[in-house]
Amino acid sequence: METLAREIGIPQEEYRAILKRLGREPNRVELFLFKVMWSEHCAYKNSRPLLKELPKEGEAVLQGPGENAGVVRIGEGWAVAFKIESHNHPSAVEPFQGAATGVGGIIRDIMSMGARPIALLDSLRFGPPEDERSRYLLKGVVSGIAHYGNAIGVPTVGGDLYFHEGYRENPLVNAMCLGLLREEHLKRSRASLGRPIYYAGAKTGRDGIGGAAFASKELSEDKEEDRPAVQVGDPFLGKLLMEATLEAIQEDLVEGVQDMGAAGLTSSLSELAHKSGLGVELDLDRVPTRERGMGPIELLLSESQERMVLVPKEGKERELEEVFRKWGLDCVPVARTIPERVFRVLFRGEVVAEVPTEALAEAPTYVRLAQEDPEVKRLRETPIPPLAADPGETLLQLLASPNLASREAVFERYDHQVGTRTALVPGKGDAAVLWVKGTRLGIAAKVDQNPRYSRLHPRLGAMHALAEASRNVSVVGAKPLAYTDGLNLGSPETPEGYHELQETIAGLKEASEALGLPVVSGNVSLYNESGGRRIPPTAMVGVVGVLEIDKRAEMGFRRPGEVVLLLGEEEGELGASEVLYLLTGQEVGHPPRIDLERERDVQEAIRELIALGLTQTAHDLAEGGLLVALAEMTFPYGLGATVEVRKGGLAALFGEGASRILFTVPKERLAEATLRLETRGLPYRILGETGGKTLTVLTPEGVLEWEVRALLAAWQKPLREVLDG
Amino acid sequence: MKWAIVRFPGSNCDEDARFALEKAGIRAEFVWHTAQDLRGFDGVFLPGGFSYGDYLRAGALAAKSPVMAEVRRFAQEGRYVIGVCNGFQVLTEAGLLPGALLANLNLHFTCKEVGVRVERTDLPFTRLYRQGQVLRLPIAHAEGRYYADPETLKRLEGEGQVVFRYAPLGEEAHYNPNGSLNDIAGIVNERGNVLGMMPHPERAVDPILGGEDGLPLFLGLVQEVAG
Amino acid sequence: MPRYQATLLIELKDGILDPQGRAVEGVLQGLGHPVESVRVGKVLEVVFQAENLLQAEEKAKALGKLLANPVMEVFALEALKELP
Amino acid sequence: MPRYQATLLIELKDGILDPQGRAVEGVLQGLGHPVESVRVGKVLEVVFQAENLLQAEEKAKALGKLLANPVMEVFALEALKELP
Ligand SMILES: Nc1ncnc2c1ncn2[C@@H]1O[C@H](COP(=O)(O)OP(=O)(O)O)[C@@H](O)[C@H]1O
Ligand SMILES: [Mg+2]
């Protein structure tokens, strides 16, 4: 067994731990159970001790981390379940199916909480668009997300997308899903004693066997033939499964729900039992199969898609079966809960595995040596080279640069309205807004992260990610309630990699505390590196907030003659900025510092202005700084503006920084708005006025002027060419 | 007034259709694709979505559902049938409307707001619009390129069966989002009681959702009955 | 009863614009494989039982008729073989 | 140079789930056409020039290789004919 353990990649010290917990040698099947359950993907061996530090409590929190998704209250008895999840490795192998099954998986997580999935966001990272393979991956991933999300009828309402050299070999594909539920319908992965456990949905085949373990290994150089079978998503079956499951919950037929994700039956059943403080006996002969001759290991580890596990309420077994029959789906009891706290597996009438559930669920954790990568430090401390460029040209070039260009070519492929809840579609606001029909409540959501900041300063980068996602939610008028984090990093087994993991989580912790935002769910994907090159530490942060639906702000100038104001500092910084990269090809310098108290105040202030109806147009300043943000505000309605700035240098026009927001106020309410800001002691400046068909900027060095149409054309073209070409 | 909304496996705009019908004051009930009886309904709505995953061809498999025989009978009696998006595809696949909907020329799913011109206003569906009015309506489809052979097309145009046509909202030159022949966005049968259209009026019935240009279509149905 | 496998081709009628074929053409050209034209259709491999080859052929054709849309498609029974 | 038309079939590898085939199967069953299985793939009709049949075959196979996704698909050159 020890040899087999080595062959399938179980480290020696873990094999010893297995012997100790079992008090005997595992058999072959048991060894594979440990293999998948103790994979980084399932067990969070390296991140668990660090994640413990994050704040998880909050007024709105109904369910924190530890379940299939987090849940927050939004009022009037409604709650929102949400979570982000990565599907990086499968997407690198087969972008279309990898992304599609990623979407399917996160949707089932949300269903498991008893919530109806109502929105998706996607957070994508690829190598530079000039790279042919990166383009191929981008196109495949976007098509795959569209394929699954559109067909299952969950709108994709937002996301973010960055190109960066660091993702050339390791693209990132994370999907976030939000679900809506009545508080009383909240479900957990629980079962009481002696209950049958039902298997529902698609039949089991040999798909993605060992995928969970695979996801935690470095992408090998194996030939394509050697790679595990690709999992194929079936959004059609997924839709039927979703409706049947939600109907069963609605009709109050189930006490517990659990999706079958990574490590399939093994993980879903053993965790369900473990969380319930019970054991489970699984009869593999009852599992519906698609292929003949599947052995116990294959059945236990298969990652066939569109499958769920349900525990009926006592006496509701028949009704549950009936619901699934109506939707044309298998729904059969395959297991039952038992008092002994073991995961017992029967195959052809014999016990083929029996392992304490606790031993499977609680893998050893690691705390490792951390040390900053000296190269990162060197880059961060590299002085910013002197920059000289014509601002007129620079704005056009920045707008056309891959990280700033319009994402329309991406989100146009996603149905962002199905469900008739979408009140702010992508491109109209900094965050998506969904309407809870039948109420005046709205839900806002946005996911964000800047790889340049995180690469040069992992801690600060993580703080920015949370601050920006939260700011985006605030500028549409919503109060941020909580967040989910998708942590994507390199191997923790090097001191540099572990340092980045540690720093990233430390940054999140600091920002969470300062902004008063708890984490309620998340995902960790490590070992995103190849040839010793780690991806930039990437903490994709998805923030969810709540608003009064009629009091929402858009990002585009709509009415001529409104006053344009800047809240926050006038000048930005050039370290790690897009304009620096554009002009020099370098990613160096210290990313903008962030004053978290200021951040909180600025967000509160803009929410107040929106709630009071003083502004209906607000947009945060991000990559590309002031002029890019102004240009972006002219795009949705083609309305221009004339503004005056006190400084004309590149840092003032294109520098970046946190806690900055542009917004407009009708003239007659200007005094009221500024008074509010003064009361809060916040810096602001009146920049100018909306109107006309140009963006006109008066600087001490002269007047800059662009046709809105010309800016728009420059901004729209690049990604269209990549995606449609 | 009571309308049936047919639910095929994979329909996903069924709730949206109900929302719009109810907003217009029409009672709406879901009817399963196996239903054999549509008595008691004043109209049938075939919603958008991906019936049977849009596998084989959009709408092809749903067109063979048991309920479609009943929808055909229903239409032959002169009662109202509306198919939106996937519903339109089902209607053409079932032969209740002429022509076919092929893959968009850009070859991908396209979700955005488009301009849609109202070509005739003597139908219950359009009586509350102005002739030539350009509506803002969302589209969301991958197979919406209307195709019919030249003869059929000529007949459609001759008989005034083209109800909705893509049109510019502003000055844009490329306003036809999918390559439909003659910019066709929606048609009726000869008798004028079966309407198929690719744009989604049911998604544009409330200012919160970004527009209300779809609402008069449903209100028109109510008025028609009220006389 | 013997089992048969039919290979059914469902293709767009001549004269109907096939953007997918065009796109493949473009890709091939870009890769240095100039081709004159590409048309993309569907192939269905259907396995079913029948009394004999004759009946199998009938059945296969009936399926083709059922599954193709005559407005824009034509189908052909490309191959039919008995399975062991 | 002579022109050739190649019929290339691109189908899913065995063992890879074919949801489309499954759905068609289900519908056919429901319509009283019992079939054992359906797998759906693509057919490409490609027209190109080549020196002779041998070279044409080589070219056609190269195209198949290029257009099939090796992770999930296999291709077969179903037919090849010279065009008048
Ligand atoms: N991958 C994506 N999928 C869907 N929508 C996206 C994606 N990337 C960006 N968007 C949308 O494009 C708009 C601009 O996004 P982004 O550039 O991230 O904004 P910001 O700079 O304010 O964070 C938003 O509406 C966002 O939701
Ligand atoms: Mg951003």
Q: Is D19 in contact with B56 (Cβ distance < 8 A)?
A: no
**For residues A492 and A504, what is the distance between their CA atoms, to the nearest angstrom?**
12
Q: Which of C28, C39, C49 sits opposite D45 (nearest CB)?
A: C39
Q: Are A497 and A490 in contact (CB under 8 A)?
A: yes
The best mutation among A125, A411, A422 to test binding of ligand 1, ranked by most ligand atoms within 8 Å of the C-beta, falls on A411
**Is it the case that residue B61 has pLDDT exceeding 70?**
yes
Q: Is D20 in contact with B53 (Cβ distance < 8 A)?
A: yes
Which atom of ligand 1 lies nearest, measured to the CA of A156?
4
Question: Which amino acid is it at A492?
Answer: P
Instruction: Judge whether A164 counts as a catalytic residue.
Output: no
- pLDDT, tens digit, 9 for 90 and up, residues A551-574: 999 999 999 999 999 999 999 999
Residue nearest (by alpha carbon) to ligand 1 atom 8: A160
- The secondary structure of A685-725 as a DSSP string is EEEEEE-SSEEEEEETTEEEEEEHHHHHHHHHHHHHHHHH-
What pLDDT score was predicted for residue A228? 53
Is the complex ipTM higher than 0.90? yes
A158 lines ligand 1 (CB under 6 A): yes
Minimal Cα–Cα distance from A87 to chain D, Å? 17
Minimal Cα–Cα distance from D19 to chain B, Å? 8
Element (H, E) at B70: helix B66-76
B218 Cβ under 8 Å from any chain A Cβ: no
What pLDDT score was predicted for residue B227? 66
A124 lines ligand 1 (CB under 6 A): yes
Please report where in the chains the tokens 């069924």 appear, as a residue.
B14
Q: Are B23 and B218 in contact (CB under 8 A)?
A: yes
Q: Give the B:C interface size as CB pairs under 8 Å.
A: 32
Which distant-in-sequence residues (6+ apart) come within 8 Å of A123 by Cβ? A84, A159, A160, A161, A172, A173, A174, A175, A176, A447, A449, A486, A540, A542
How do B194-197 and B80-84 pair as beta strands? parallel
3-state secondary structure of A556: coil
CB-based burial, A160-174: b 16+ in 10 Å, e otherwise: bbbbbbbbbbbbbbb
Q: Is C40 in contact with D42 (Cβ distance < 8 A)?
A: yes
What pLDDT score was predicted for residue A210? 52
Residues of chain A with pLDDT under 70: 209-228
What confidence tier does B71 reach under pLDDT thresholds 50, 70, 90?
very high
**For residues A299 and A562, what is the distance between their CA atoms, to the nearest angstrom?**
64
Q: Which of B57, B98, B105 sits opposite C69 (nearest CB)?
A: B57
Element (H, E) at B82: strand B80-84
Which atom of ligand 1 lies nearest, measured to the CA of A446?
27
3-state secondary structure of B201: helix
3-state secondary structure of A310: strand
Q: Where are the domains of chain B?
A: 2-226
Could you give the angle at the alpha carbon of A419 between the alpha carbons of A418 and A420, nearest 5°? 90
Token pair for residue A24? 């005997």
**For residues A65 and A56, what is the distance between their CA atoms, to the nearest angstrom?**
7
Contacts of C71 in chain B (CB under 8 A): 92, 98-100, 147-149
| Chains with 3 or more CB pairs under 8 A to chain D | A, B, C
Contacts of A236 in chain D (CB under 8 A): 19, 23
Contacts of B13 in chain A (CB under 8 A): 153, 418
Q: Which of D73, D1, D13 is nearest to D44 (CA)?
A: D73
Select which of B13, B33, B70, B85 is catalytic.
Answer: B85
Q: Is A412 in contact with B209 (Cβ distance < 8 A)?
A: no
Please report where in the chains the tokens 């554009």 appear, as a residue.
A582
Q: Which of A451, A442, A245 is nearest to A330 (CA)?
A: A245
Residue nearest (by alpha carbon) to ligand 1 atom 15: A160
Ligand 2 mean position, distance from CA A461 (Å): 12
Q: Are A486 and A86 in contact (CB under 8 A)?
A: yes
> CA–CA distance from A237 to each of A102, A118, A234, C34 (Å)?
15, 18, 5, 40
How do A116-126 and A156-163 pair as beta strands? parallel
Element (H, E) at A524: strand A519-525
Q: Which residues pair with B140 in a beta bridge?
A: B111
Q: Give the A:B interface size as CB pairs under 8 Å.
A: 86
Minimal Cα–Cα distance from A224 to chain D, Å? 6
Q: Which of residues 150-189 of B touch C (CB under 8 A)?
A: 179
Q: Which of residues 55-74 of B touch D (CB under 8 A)?
A: 55-56, 61, 64
Q: Which residues pair with B203 in a beta bridge?
A: none
pTM metric for this prediction = 0.95
D73 Cβ under 8 Å from any chain C Cβ: no
Instruction: Judge whether B200 counts as a catalytic residue.
Output: yes
Which distant-in-sequence residues (6+ apart) come within 8 Å of A582 by Cβ? A394, A397, A398, A401
- The secondary structure of D18-81 as a DSSP string is -HHHHHHHHHHHHTT---SEEEEEEEEEEEEE-SSHHHHHHHHHHHHHHHS-TTTEEEEEEEEE
Ramachandran assignment for B10, one of left (phi > 0), alpha (psi -120 to 50 degrees), beta (any other) = left
**For residues A363 and A162, what is the distance between their CA atoms, to the nearest angstrom?**
34
Ligand 1 mean position, distance from CA A127 (Å): 18
**Is it the case that residue B226 has pLDDT exceeding 90?**
no
> CA–CA distance from A432 to each of A155, A193, A418 (Å)?
11, 43, 14
Name the DSSP class of A102: H
**For residues B88 and A484, what is the distance between their CA atoms, to the nearest angstrom?**
40
Q: Which of C19, C42, C72 sits opposite B100 (nearest CB)?
A: C72
Which distant-in-sequence residues (6+ apart) come within 8 Å of A228 by Cβ? A208, A209, A210, A211, A214
Q: Which of A94, A206, A224 sits opposite D15 (nearest CB)?
A: A206
Q: Which of A165, A157, A168 is nearest to A123 (CA)?
A: A157
Ramachandran assignment for A44, one of left (phi > 0), alpha (psi -120 to 50 degrees), beta (any other) = left
**For residues B152 and B100, what is the distance between their CA atoms, to the nearest angstrom?**
11
| Chains with 3 or more CB pairs under 8 A to chain A | B, D
Ligand 1 mean position, distance from CA A174 (Å): 14
The best mutation among A407, A413, A554, A603 to test binding of ligand 1, ranked by most ligand atoms within 8 Å of the C-beta, falls on A407
Domain B2-226 falls under CATH 3.40.50.880: yes
Q: Which residues pair with C6 in a beta bridge?
A: C46, C80
DSSP H helical segments within A302-427, as ranges?
A: 317-326, 357-361, 374-381, 391-399, 408-411
Contacts of B179 in chain C (CB under 8 A): 17, 19
A662 lines ligand 1 (CB under 6 A): no
Minimal Cα–Cα distance from B145 to chain C, Å? 11
What pLDDT score was predicted for residue A724? 86
What pLDDT score was predicted for residue A3? 87
Minimal Cα–Cα distance from B224 to chain A, Å? 26
D67 Cβ under 8 Å from any chain C Cβ: yes
A212 lines ligand 1 (CB under 6 A): no
Ligand 1 mean position, distance from CA A404 (Å): 10
Q: Is A585 exposed, middle or buried (0-12, 13-18, 19+ CB in 10 A)?
A: exposed
Q: What is the C-alpha end-to-end distance of chain B, expressed in Å?
A: 13
Q: Are B178 and B110 in contact (CB under 8 A)?
A: yes
What pLDDT score was predicted for residue A212? 43
Please report where in the chains the tokens 């949370």 appear, as a residue.
A466
- The secondary structure of C25-81 as a DSSP string is HHHHHHTT---SEEEEEEEEEEEEE-SSHHHHHHHHHHHHHHHS-TTTEEEEEEEEE
Please report where in the chains the tokens 């992770």 appear, as a residue.
D71
CB-based burial, A620-630: b 16+ in 10 Å, e otherwise: bbbbbbbbbbb
E strands, A91-146, are: 116-126
Which distant-in-sequence residues (6+ apart) come within 8 Å of A20 by Cβ? none
Q: Which ligand is nearest to the CA of A446?
A: 1
A632 lines ligand 1 (CB under 6 A): no
A556 lines ligand 1 (CB under 6 A): no
**Residue of chain A with shortest Cα separation from D18:** A232
Contacts of D72 in chain A (CB under 8 A): 94, 97, 230, 232
Q: Which ligand is nearest to the CA of A403?
A: 1
Phi, psi (degrees; rounded to nearest 5) at A600: -65, -45
A558 lines ligand 1 (CB under 6 A): no
The whole-angstrom distance between residue B163's C-alpha and the CA centroid of its chain comes to: 10
Q: Are A332 and A199 in contact (CB under 8 A)?
A: yes
Return the biggest CA–CA distance within chain C.
50
Which atom of ligand 1 lies nearest, measured to the CA of A142?
1
- pLDDT, tens digit, 9 for 90 and up, residues A373-388: 999 999 999 999 999 9
Minimal Cα–Cα distance from B125 to chain C, Å? 27
Q: Which ligand is nearest to the CA of A404?
A: 1
Token pair for residue A716? 């729209």
Q: What is the C-alpha end-to-end distance of chain C, expressed in Å?
A: 11
Q: Is A225 exposed, middle or buried (0-12, 13-18, 19+ CB in 10 A)?
A: exposed
Q: What is the pLDDT of chain B when averaged over all its residues?
A: 96
